[in-house]
Amino acid sequence: MDYAHIADQKHSKGVALMPPRSKVYSLPQEVRAELERRIVERTFSGYEDLAAWLQSQGFQIAEDSVQRHGARLRQKMESLAQSTQHAQAITRTSPKVRATLVEATIDLLNERIFSAVMEAEQSGHQEIALLSRTLADLSRMTIARQRWAEEFRARLEEENRIAQERGVKARRAEAFATTREALDAVKLLKAATGNR
């Protein structure tokens, strides 16, 4: 079957084709992990030497592919560092602000995982399954958080209602005590004046 011919036909009909899968993602996990370690160790430079190292390991991957992978890795690491800073900032805020920020963080995580799923063509099926499970976990966490917030709000409303009732009861008791004192004072006054 002539796949190039089919691709040309689809392209001419305006159908967008997925970009080819990165060769770096095709590497065995151990080799890719070592490559990523070396990329970070070389501060995201020296891609020609890294391509040569891969070639010595028996993998034919161009310097440009290694460089693109390094750029994606750097972006992920910077994003992770930024997320860590945001998380630290969240922990230093008040509980009310923290709740809003936690919701925003969950939304951000959902968005990033969804984007990662969309890019999964390059990351392999195992990562798609992991990302899908993570997305499902986040969804469950969001639902649990919403339930907790609703229960918390209901408890707070109930406590406010009880406090108001206690306030009303306290004011009634105070009024009753004041009335009782006034009546006692009247009785004393009558007794002292001889019931005139």
pLDDT in tens, 50-59: 999 999 999 9
Residue 45 lies in a domain: yes
Number of domains in the chain: 1
**Mean pLDDT over residues 29-48, rounded?**
91
pLDDT(10) > 70: no
Residue 189 lies in a domain: no
Residue 99 lies in a domain: no
Residue 27 lies in a domain: yes
Give pLDDT, residue 2. Answer: 42
pLDDT in tens, 41-100: 999 899 999 999 999 999 999 999 999 999 988 988 888 788 778 767 766 666 666 667
Q: What is the pTM of this model?
A: 0.45
Rounded to an integer, what distance in angstroms lies between the CA atom of residue 11 and that of residue 46?
Answer: 36
Residue 144 lies in a domain: no
Residue 47 domain boundaries: 23-81
Residue 61 lies in a domain: yes
